[in-house]
Amino acid sequence: MQTRVCKQCFKVIKDNSINAVLGKKYSLCPQCYKKLEPKFIKFKSEGVDCLSIYEYNEDLKGLIYQFKGCFDYELKDIFLDRFKSVLKLRFYDYLAVPVPSWKDDDLVREFNHVEEAFKGLKLEIVKLIEKTEKVKQSDRHKNERSDIGRFLRIVKNNSLKGKKILLVDDIYTTGSTIKACISLLKSLNPKKIKVLVLCKVQHNEHIVKTNNNKLY
Ligand SMILES: [Zn+2]
Residues 181-208 have pLDDT tens digits of 999 999 999 999 999 999 999 875 444 4
Lowest mean pLDDT of 60-69, 84-93, 121-130, 191-200, name the range.
60-69
Distance 11 CA to ligand 1 centre (A): 6
Q: Pick 83 or 16 by higher pLDDT.
A: 83
Q: What pTM did the predictor assign?
A: 0.86
Share of the chain above pLDDT 90, in %: 47
CA distances from 75 to 16, 64, 89, 118 (A): 22, 9, 23, 12
Phi (first) and psi of residue 9, to 5 degrees:
-105, -5
CA of residue 84 to ligand 1 center, whole Å = 20
Paired strand residues for 196? 51, 168
Q: Which amino acid is at 208?
A: V
Spatial contact of 125 and 155, defined as CB atoms under 8 Å apart: no
Q: Which of 46-50, 53-57, 66-70, 192-196 has the lowest mean pLDDT?
A: 66-70
Q: How far away, in angstroms, is 25 Cα from ligand 1 center?
A: 14
Average pLDDT over residues 99-128: 90
Give distance in angstroms: CA of 5 to centre of ligand 1. Answer: 8
Q: Model confidence at 216, in pLDDT bands (50, 70, 90)? A: very low
32 contacts 25 by C-beta, under 8 angstroms = no
Hey, what domains does the chain have and what are their CATH numbers? 1-34 (no CATH), 36-210 (3.40.50)
Query: CB neighbours of 22 closer than 8 A, spacing ≥ 6?
Result: none
Taking the centre of ligand 1 as the mean of its atom positions, its distance from the CA of residue 13, in whole angstroms, is 8
Distance of alpha carbon 94 from alpha carbon 51, whole angstroms: 14
List CB contacts of 180: < 8 A, sequence separation 6 or more: 148, 149, 152
Residue 20 CA to ligand 1 centre (angstroms): 16
Query: Ligand 1 centre and the CA of 35: distance in Å?
Result: 10
- Region 75-98: mean pLDDT is 93
Are the C-beta atoms of residues 77 and 27 closer than 8 Å to each other?
yes
Give the CA angle between residues 150, 168, 188 to the nearest 5°: 55
Whether the pLDDT of residue 162 is over 90: the answer is: yes
Q: State residue 156's pLDDT score.
A: 77
Digit-coded pLDDT (tens) for 130-158: 998 887 877 778 777 778 888 899 997 77
Helix (H, G, I), strand (E, B) or coil at 130: strand
E strands, the chain, are 41-45, 48-55, 95-98, 129-131, 152-154, 164-172, 192-200, 207-210
Q: Which residue has the higher pLDDT, 209 or 145?
A: 145
Q: What is the mean pLDDT of the chain?
A: 86
Cα–ligand 1 centroid distance for 12 (angstroms): 8
